[in-house]
Chains A and B, each alone.
Chain A
Amino acid sequence: MVVNERKDQKDHFYFQWHITEECNLRCVHCYQEGYKVKALDKDKLLKIAKTMDNTLEKWNKKGRVSITGGEPFLKQDILLDLLSYFEKSNNFYWVGILSNGTLIDDELAAQLKRYNKLKEIQISIDGYNADTHDKIRGIGSFDKAVKAIEIIKRNKFFVSIMFTLHRLNVRDAVAVMDLAKELEIDALTIERITPMNDEDINNFYIPSDELYKIYKQIYEKKKKVEQASDLRVRVSRPLWGLIDNQLGGFCPVGLTSLCILNDGTVLPCRRLEIPVGNILTDGLFKIWYTSEVLWKLRNKKLLGGKCKNCSILANCGGCRAIAYTVNGNYMADDPQCWK
């Protein structure tokens, strides 16, 4: 989730929309369970876009939407239709695309340039080089992603990298900043993985003491790399406030953001897999006003464990999704917290 732009957040609302579950990669850490669910047709997707738009209109909020998948460029025609819709909307001012970068070519980049509200294209890079990245995402995927970055940079887009930090690539977490600098990336987000089940915990989870060490290393490198280049390393999620109180932030889950899946299912966050309704059948008002899960997430006083009385609660609050997977309780403390 893109959560770096925190200023005036109360006036803003963020959607992460997974328009399709189809994907051409099979990344080992992917939170998706299936890849074959038939995508909604164009009319239904436009209905979802309109529902989001109407909701922002009613709330008088400025909207941001990240369109993703699966791999969103597998649905290129629909994606372009949605970009056209958001381009005309009075309520959305920012659109991002989150992609694995394997399907982007010059022709597509030229088409994307037509959309002024398309402000950012994020490419997933999970290693400093092909060795690590391809072990996670599949052979050849690193070179394709780098090529895509070069194409979209050449077309003057704001380009970001998402590096999902876990046990298989923890050694690349610092070096990936050099890669981002080398590729003249505008922003690099380093986010720890949210395990979705016990198997994920066994394979990918980084214990708190180890996470602390790697966060410190990332922090030191971030300062250097940001001094030496225009690259911005985004570290806006919970726990970063423990490294430097100017970093991190309270997660917007339940407050100013929602995730919509390919079939219209609404989640508080993609990583917090507790369905709170379906945008097509319930609409967003019913979900937003009546979901007990969302109301609990909004209430800091209901946080449990060490989060409850933590001195940096306002700037952290822990990751609710990781708490849910590891503790079985989304209001429990963040198990990766080292405090």
Chain B
Amino acid sequence: METIWQMTHNAGNSINKEWEKKVEDKVYFLADKFSLYQGDFNSKKFFLFDISDGSIYRLNEVAYDMLELFDGEKKLSDIYDILMAVYEVETLKLKEDLNFMVQNWVSNNILIEK
């Protein structure tokens, strides 16, 4: 089973600043073939299911929280704001991490641009 974090490592560590600016207004949604699942309150189990080929990706809680926010309504900048309110992290660092993951999720067809 491949984790989302492992998947992101393949995308490299540099963030394209121009890309970052452009994407802040973009809206994404989870591709139809994926389904997010959170276990019950105590289990702390988070999964991303590919319902087309049956693959199961174990997520950590942060990745789950992030992916859940991509509802086809919120802009990426809205998502930054929500996450900033939840996690104690520097704005720049959070943007860098989220952009990095969004790039990866888009390239893996997990997130689709609206």
Chain A residues proximal to chain B, CB less than 8 Å: 54-55, 58-59, 283-286, 289-290, 295, 299, 301-302
Give the residues in chain B near A55, CB-CB below 8 Å: 54
Give the residues in chain B near A58, CB-CB below 8 Å: 53-55
Chain A, residue nearest B37 (CB): A289
Chain A, residue nearest B42 (CB): A301
Is A301 in contact with B40, judged by CB distance below 8 angstroms? yes
CA distance A311 to B108 in the complex (A): 47
Give the residues in chain A near B56, CB-CB below 8 Å: 289
Give the residues in chain A near B35, CB-CB below 8 Å: 286, 289-290
Given contacts A283-B51, A284-B54, A285-B52, 20 further A-B contacts (CB under 8 A): A54-B54, A55-B54, A58-B55, A59-B54, A283-B52, A285-B51, A285-B53, A285-B54, A286-B35, A286-B51, A289-B35, A289-B37, A289-B49, A289-B51, A289-B56, A290-B35, A295-B37, A299-B40, A301-B40, A302-B40
CB distance from A241 to the nearest CB of B (A): 24
CB distance from B31 to the nearest CB of A (A): 13
Can you list the 9 inter-chain pairs with the closest CB atoms, starting with the nearest? A289-B49, A58-B54, A286-B51, A285-B54, A285-B51, A290-B35, A289-B35, A289-B51, A299-B40
Give how many B residues have a beta carbon under 8 Å from the other chain's beta carbons: 11
B50 within 8 Å of A by Cβ?
yes
Chain B, residue nearest A283 (CB): B51
Tally of A-B Cβ pairs under 8 angstroms? 29
Give the residues in chain A near B53, CB-CB below 8 Å: 58, 285
CA distance A295 to B52 in the complex (A): 19
Is B51 in contact with A290, judged by CB distance below 8 angstroms? yes
CB distance from B19 to the nearest CB of A (A): 32
CB distance from B34 to the nearest CB of A (A): 9
Give the residues in chain B near A302, CB-CB below 8 Å: 40
Give the residues in chain B near A54, CB-CB below 8 Å: 54
Give the residues in chain A near B52, CB-CB below 8 Å: 283, 285
Chain B, residue nearest A301 (CB): B40
Give the residues in chain B near A283, CB-CB below 8 Å: 51-52
Give the residues in chain A near B37, CB-CB below 8 Å: 289, 295
Chain A, residue nearest B47 (CB): A289
Q: Which chain B residues (7-45) contact chain A, with CB distance < 8 Å? A: 35, 37, 40
Give the residues in chain B near A285, CB-CB below 8 Å: 49-54
CA distance A315 to B15 in the complex (A): 53
B49 touches which of A59, A290, A299, A301 (Cβ 8 Å) = A290
Q: Among the interface residues A59, A286, A301, which one has the most CB atoms of the partner chain B within 10 A?
A: A286
Q: Among the interface residues B37, B51, B52, B53, which one has the most CB atoms of the partner chain A within 10 A?
A: B51
CB distance from A215 to the nearest CB of B (A): 33
Q: Which chain B residues (54-88) contact chain A, with CB distance < 8 Å? A: 54-56
23 A-B residue pairings within 8 Å (CB atoms): A55-B54, A58-B53, A58-B55, A283-B51, A283-B52, A284-B54, A285-B49, A285-B50, A285-B51, A285-B52, A285-B53, A286-B51, A289-B35, A289-B37, A289-B49, A289-B51, A289-B56, A290-B35, A290-B49, A290-B51, A295-B37, A299-B40, A301-B40
